[in-house]
């Protein structure tokens, strides 16, 4: 296989541009050779088309990701550090390292082709800028499986993703050469009012409101600390109009301690239920 084949087939499909306050946010969509079939790669492995395509086509997570346009690859393969669970890291696509999405794939002769889009921000911008300045994206598979003594990949191969790397193991796994198209998506700017409101009626004496306070405003641990410091009985907490009521056990028996809702609930939550 001629290593120049991938560069000859290189084609940037389009450039997506978003403009806000005079600044542009844009991504690149391009065709990418992911690997070839039936050719021994730099690592001595030989992938058959049937095993690779079968692994991709029958993987429900990959198929769902493609449907949602979220099948992602990292910038570089995972670095397994001492003490890490190697298998778990191999199978995890780490969000901060994502640089592209693989939007679709297909076989073309003995090549596995794809359409990729750089992610906005972080490593996605790095890949985008390097492509635009002449440095081609390069792909390498990340998968779980085995091979025989001759290097033939065995059935049971489970692909995870294709990462963007340097010096791919498949000699043809380069972005494919072609043309660009810019698609602009202007974002309205100025003094337009973009606020919206939504209000619902809610019973502040209800048990669900009490649960809301615990889950959204203060954790159970924080309220327990308050109760311990003030010698309040956490299990007696009730909602009474605009107060939270606790029972305090003193020398003369139980007495009620009322704490205004405003002191327990974030202002936005308190006003929402007024």
The per-residue pLDDT for 57 is: 97
**pLDDT number for residue 244:** 76
177 in Cβ contact with 10 (< 8 Å): yes
Q: Which of 124, 161, 121 is nearest to 35 (CA)?
A: 161
CA distance 240 to 258: 9
Question: Is 237 in contact with 245 (CB distance < 8 Å)?
Answer: yes
Q: Quick one: DSSP state of residue 29? A: E
Evaluate whether 137 touches 100 at the Cβ level (below 8 Å).
yes
Using an 8 Å Cβ cutoff, are 232 and 247 in contact?
yes
Band of pLDDT at residue 257, cut at 50, 70 and 90: confident
202-219 tens-digit pLDDT: 555 566 656 655 555 555
Q: Residue 274 in 3-state DSSP?
A: coil
Q: What is the CA radius of gyration of the chain?
A: 28
Least confident range from 9-13, 48-52, 74-78: namely: 9-13
Whether the CB-CB separation of 36 and 22 falls below 8 Å is answered with no
Residue 11 has pLDDT above 70, yes or no: no
Q: What is the pLDDT of residue 183?
A: 40
CB atoms within 10 A of CB 130: 15
Please determine, for residue 267, whether its predicted confidence score (pLDDT) is greater than 80.
Answer: no
Residue 168 burial (10 A CB sphere; 0-12, 13-18, 19+): buried
3-class DSSP assignment, residue 262: helix
Nearest to 42 by CA among 165, 136, 193, 157: 165
pLDDT of 83-112, one tens digit each? 878 888 889 999 999 999 999 999 999 999
Structure confidence by residue, pLDDT tens digits, 28-47: 899 999 999 999 999 999 99
Q: Which pLDDT band holds residue 22 (cuts at 50, 70, 90)?
A: low
Q: Where are the domains of the chain?
A: 5-186, 207-272
- Residue 175 near residue 131, CB atoms below 8 Å: yes
CB 49 within 8 A of CB 72: no
CB 158 within 8 A of CB 58: no
Highest mean pLDDT pick, 80-84, 104-108, 246-250:
104-108
268 class by beta-carbon count within 10 Å (0-12 exposed, 13-18 middle, 19+ buried)? exposed
For residue 153, what are the contacts with CB-CB under 8 A and spacing of at least 6? 45, 46, 47, 48, 51, 52, 145, 146, 147
């Amino acid at each position: 296989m001629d290593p120049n084949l991938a560069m000859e087939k290189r084609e940037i499909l389009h450039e997506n541009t978003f403009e806000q306050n005079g600044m542009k946010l844009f991504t690149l969509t391009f065709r990418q050779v992911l690997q070839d079939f039936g050719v021994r790669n730099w690592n001595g492995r030989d992938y058959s088309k049937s095993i690779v395509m079968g692994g991709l086509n029958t993987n429900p997570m990959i198929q769902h990701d493609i449907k949602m346009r979220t099948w992602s690859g990292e910038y570089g393969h995972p670095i397994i550090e001492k003490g890490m669970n190697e298998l778990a890291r191999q199978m995890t696509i780490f969000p901060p390292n994502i640089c592209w999405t693989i939007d679709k794939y297909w076989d073309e002769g003995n090549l596995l082709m794809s359409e990729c889009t750089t992610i906005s921000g972080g490593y996605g911008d790095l890949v985008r800028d390097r492509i635009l300045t002449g440095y081609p994206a390069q792909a390498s598979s990340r998968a779980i499986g085995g091979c025989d003594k001759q290097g033939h990949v065995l059935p049971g191969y489970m692909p995870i993703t294709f990462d963007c790397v340097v010096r791919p193991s498949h000699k043809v796994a380069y972005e494919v050469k072609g043309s660009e198209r810019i698609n602009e998506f202007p974002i309205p700017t100025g003094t337009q009012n973009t606020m919206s409101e939504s209000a619902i009626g809610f019973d502040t004496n209800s048990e669900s409101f009490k649960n809301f306070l615990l889950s959204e405003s203060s954790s159970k641990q924080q309220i327990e600390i308050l109760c311990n410091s003030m010698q309040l009985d956490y299990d007696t907490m009730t909602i009474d109009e605009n107060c939270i009521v606790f029972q305090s056990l003193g020398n003369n028996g139980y007495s009620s301690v009322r704490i205004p809702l405003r002191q327990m609930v974030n202002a936005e939550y308190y006003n929402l239920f007024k």
